[in-house]
Amino acid sequence: DNQNAHGLSVRELADNYKISKSSAANILRRSEELLADYSSNCNKEKARQVAEQLGYTSETFKASNGWLKKFRNRYAISFRTINGESALVDNSTVEEWTQRLSTILDGFDENDVFNADETGLSYRATPDHSLVLSKEECKGGKKSKERLTVLLCSNLTGTVKLKPVVIGKSQRPRCFKNITTSKLPVIWLSNRTAWMTSQTADQISITVLDAIKWIDLSWENVTEKTIKNGFRAL
């Protein structure tokens, strides 16, 4: 199935919104056109509001499609998709590591294989389409000022999920007033960029007590079938 920018297939979109697969596929195919229409309507409404503040009436100023087109052409404004971080990892490197990883994991039980991944959270996110000057590149990601980095980690079976790590720019944001950071449901760290750096990673420590808890939880999730198969292999 075709997938949209959020990774959902046509079938998943149809199920989520209770529509037919053909309707979901048509919406995906026309997404750029539909979003452009939505943006245009918002721009025209905003133009009407500004005109009203300047003393114009609905009779003296009409935010028509023709006016909007001329306005965009005059100031070289175009409607584009905002991309994420560009070309940070070479594709050949990713493919090579994927092949190596499969070989490395062959000797481990699934409960003992952990994966950690970081993602950016723009908690005051703008739409993923924007009006920009035609000659400008349109990229998002690390340029966002109101952004957190989130590190999530769990084992392959999902039976062990570690406390999320959240990285912000301020050690104690104003909203943390009267809050003890150690009692937050996440591990709160900070640096001036709100990115995961080697110095920040060094602050994430795993204790022997953490390891003991993982061992206990993993053992609880070992099924009778797994134990029987272990004896058969002897």
Q: What is the pLDDT of residue 166?
A: 93
Q: What are the pLDDT digits (tens) for 80-108?
A: 555 555 555 667 777 888 888 888 888 78
Q: Which of 5-14, 52-61, 79-88, 207-216 has the lowest mean pLDDT?
A: 79-88
How far does Cα 180 stand from its chain's mean position?
Answer: 27
What is the mean pLDDT of the segment spanning 193-208?
A: 78
Q: What is the pLDDT of residue 35?
A: 60
Q: What is the pLDDT of residue 81?
A: 55
- pTM for the whole structure: 0.46
Q: Which of 29-43, 127-141, 174-188 has the lowest mean pLDDT?
A: 127-141
- Binning pLDDT at 50, 70 and 90, where does residue 167 land? very high
Q: What is the pLDDT of residue 188?
A: 92
Q: What is the pLDDT of residue 1?
A: 44
- Binning pLDDT at 50, 70 and 90, where does residue 127 land? low
pLDDT at 229 over 50: yes
Q: What is the pLDDT of residue 142?
A: 44
| pLDDT top residue among 129 and 208 | 208
> In this prediction, what percent of the chain has a pLDDT beyond 90?
7
> In this prediction, what percent of the chain has a pLDDT beyond 70?
75
Give the DSSP per-residue string, the chain: --B-TTS-BHHHHHHHHT--HHHHHHHHHTHHHHHHHHHHHHHHHHHHHHHHHTT--TTT----HHHHHHHHHHTTEEEEEPB-S-S-S-HHHHHHHHHHHHHHHTTS-GGG-EEEEEEEEETTPPPSEEEEETTS--B-GGG-SSEEEEEEEEETTSS-BPPPEEEES-SS-GGGTT--GGGSSSEEEE-TT-S--HHHHHT----HHHHHHHHHHHHHT--HHHHHHHHHT-
